[in-house]
Amino acid sequence: MRCEQRGPRRYPKYMLPLLLIVAAIPDWVPARWHSADVKSLQLLNETPINCLLLERTEWSAGFAKAAKERGIATLGVVRPGADALEQARKPTTLGLDGVVLEGDFESSVVKALQDSKIPTIELPSRAGMRFSDTSTLVYGSHQGLWPGIQVEENGSAKSAPSGAPWIDTNTGFLRFVRAATDKPVWIANVPPANMVIPVQRYIQAIGDAAITGSHWVLALDGDFNKRLLAREPGALADWKRIGGALSFYESHKEWRSMHPHGQLALIQDADSGALLSGSVLDMIAVKNAPVQPVPTAKLKVEAMKDAKMAVDVDPQALSPAQKDVLKAFTRAGGTLLSAPPGWTFPMPKDGSITVAKDDFKKLDEIWKEVNGMVGHTNLGARLFNVSSMLSTLVAPAEGKQVVLQLVNYSDFPVESITAHVLGTYKHARLYVPGAEPKDLAVYEVEGGTGVDIDKLDVIGSIILE
């Protein structure tokens, strides 16, 4: 066999930037940016934001050059239209690093950009997400709810079937997407129009995505953006808090690679409501019960190895081999709840992303069965005095550590929080933005370890080991 000595591998000129960008995307912290003024980049100095989504009016060679010198990527936002492909090719001619296709585009447009080696991130509607396309750089959508407790016209908090306050959240949708892919996941919804948003609501939106291992593409309301660019003291103070929340999660990037940790599995897919907010996954999450989403396509023996209970939302969608997986699960002592025939929640034809009103009764019925099965069982963690909060319990593939991540969706701090986590842990520390980690006393509870938190403002995490 003849051996040849080879020099350094060289790439065609168009490939190296694309390869570098693909490698950098998992570490991008994205934000919509409504300024082409180079001086506005100074506002990013104390934040981890390193990727800016720019509208057409902000596409500028000078701005892109200045951003690149600071290590900040710039992407031009393009929306569907007759000249979409022509517009999508312009940003890179001005020195921007790529394009964001926001909305549902013809596949020919996407393919043409990929063939041109233009870095392209798609943010379609939820219904337009293409999970079968492995070339996708980021899985995401521009459709999302603005996180927070839903308030009725009389000022009281709306109740969910679980009895807890109804929390508008994207976590169910994002948990499913994270389970369906190992690519970065973004959600790019914007604040409600014509509203001035308090700073804690931005932090809730950041945490709503981050506890699932996803990124919310930061977007400021018009008033905040105007005041920030004018360097008003109040806006700068709020901006510092937002930067602190982003830095909090970026200082713990390892959490994004951890997996849901718990004994309840939810088998679901796009046709059975996985892309909708307010469906079964969200209803379980509101009870703060750790849950592992299992996309139907990934239903194999290894996906069920840590589960003791499972909910199969659409049994008719299973292949014979997948049905055998669930038979083996129940034979081994697992408890399985299967939805009745025809119990599906396809995406509404009107483009909405929440469960249709006509389906609420159906959803309430399945919730009663799920709640009856789960009851007061500790399936990984049980939380108390957290009616305005959501949580996730994650753990690395190997190791004796778990992370309980918390988001408070109310306008006031929550006090006297208690968590009972399965397993024996000797140390617990509370991490919150802008403060030193705080050691928490641990104590024995039935089947696990208990910890108490005196007060939590908006976001925080407990590491137990």
Note the residue count of the chain. 465
- Check: CB of residue 306 under 8 Å from CB of residue 332: no
For residue 454, report the phi and psi dihedrals to the nearest 5 degrees.
Answer: -65, -45
Nearest to 140 by CA among 29, 215, 54: 215
**Domain limits, the chain:** 15-257, 262-374, 381-464
The whole-number pLDDT of residue 294 equals 96
Pairing verdict, β 459-464 and 428-431: antiparallel
What averages of pLDDT result for each successive group of 10 residues across the chain (465 residues)?
40 64 94 98 97 97 97 96 93 96 94 92 95 91 94 52 75 96 96 92 98 98 97 98 98 95 93 89 87 94 94 91 97 92 77 81 76 83 95 91 97 96 97 97 96 98 97
CATH code: domain 262-374 is 3.40.50
Class of domain 381-464: mainly beta
Q: pLDDT at position 339, please?
A: 84
Closest by CA to 417, choosing from 392, 373, 465, 451, is 451
| 51 within 8 A of 207, measured Cβ to Cβ | no
Q: How far apart are CA 299 and CA 319, in angstroms?
A: 10
Q: Are 334 and 341 in contact (CB under 8 A)?
A: no
Report pLDDT for 223: 96
Q: What is the pLDDT of residue 358?
A: 72
Spelled out in words, what is the top-level CATH class assigned to the domain 15-257?
alpha beta
E strand or H helix that includes residue 87: helix 84-88
Give the integer Cα–Cα distance in Å for 343 and 395.
32
